[in-house]
Structure 1
């Protein structure tokens, strides 16, 4: 996709996830709006995946370590044909496979995730397996910034650098908010870029809501050798809905009737402005 098409796709995914959360009456709205551009860049422009063959041995792997923000992932997988889009209406209903965290019964989902701090460890294992098996696939994992307080993240970071896993890309959704407030108030993380650099990673800072920057950085990561890449993706929580942006309450707030209407109007207007 070209840049305009990617922006249009991201706006549509945001509309889809808002509708899904509204009808389910549950979800992590702000977090999913935050990571939509990152996932759009990955799934529509970077990763090699095949909805008709989701277990293809040489597919690129994506691990949603930030598993609570699953709504954008489900909407993208449905849009790409991994499962019928109509199934989104079952999100979080009894008996649905579309539960509130990634579920590997869903085609396109590699691992059950959501207990924070585990995604990078899984991704390191997958990337190491690719090296051992002589496979060309790449592994991507999306972490939350609040998740950086987990010790297991840093154990995996050491391993990724030690094994020189240049087929591994970690991405941090750095919106600086977590469920209980500012990351720097809950557990200070800075200087976060320097920490990852000191652990032996190729650290690249990007605007995580700028699809052009994201695509350029992810493409450049493919040329990096001898070390894994960490994208510090600076984002806005609640991105795309003006009254939800940078508001901690929207971490898992479900829009009411009027909020949904206003949010969809804003996103529809942004779509119209791209034509």
Structure 2
């Protein structure tokens, strides 16, 4: 029974020692030799205890060259003899296996990254070229080199125009605000500093000139009295501080604030001045104080 226990303990300790090592070890035990040794010890019943000092010294030299687990108890020579036999009959084969790490970056991954970089460069270049072409196209669209559009400034008489469709070559748009804009006399004074010859005052809807009148640039600096417009060409103009600015086809106007005369007339334009609201009318279309589709527009020649 003791022999079996010693054999079992030895095998367990050898296995544990191999498992805890950094290198992978394979322990091969010659079972046939162990079995033969066990049979011999069974026939003999007991291990012979050697007291020979020379044998003991020899055993100690062998164990020094081949270290094994010291399982001796109270200096028991029989145990030492058993361990010596075990060391002789047990063959240990240690195999060290090396583990090679697989590369974290593969050629396929590099190829994918390269493709993504090239695609991003193409997209950036394409976007830059597209924006440049759009800017050039917008710039070219403003040039008047077409044979269908005369390059010389167009001359307009001092009169009222409905649904003006001709291209305003030579005319510069200097003011464009929705009818909801709270227009001031100072706005007109600033525009007068830009315009020095003729002006075109208009009401637009969806960027189309619905109603307009042309007159001298001096109409922007008029100081007319209440309900007394001044005539320039075929148009009667007024600019009354705290009331309104606009034009009429006749001398009769009614500035309650803006011009309320002849409400069905399509040829009257009136903008409130220095009020807390925008508006007021373009032809027969009135109550535009909060309208953003209709715009107040002024061009200079």
TM-score by length of 2: 0.23
Structure with higher Rg: it is 2
TM-score by length of 1: 0.25
- Name whichever structure is richer in strand by fraction: 2
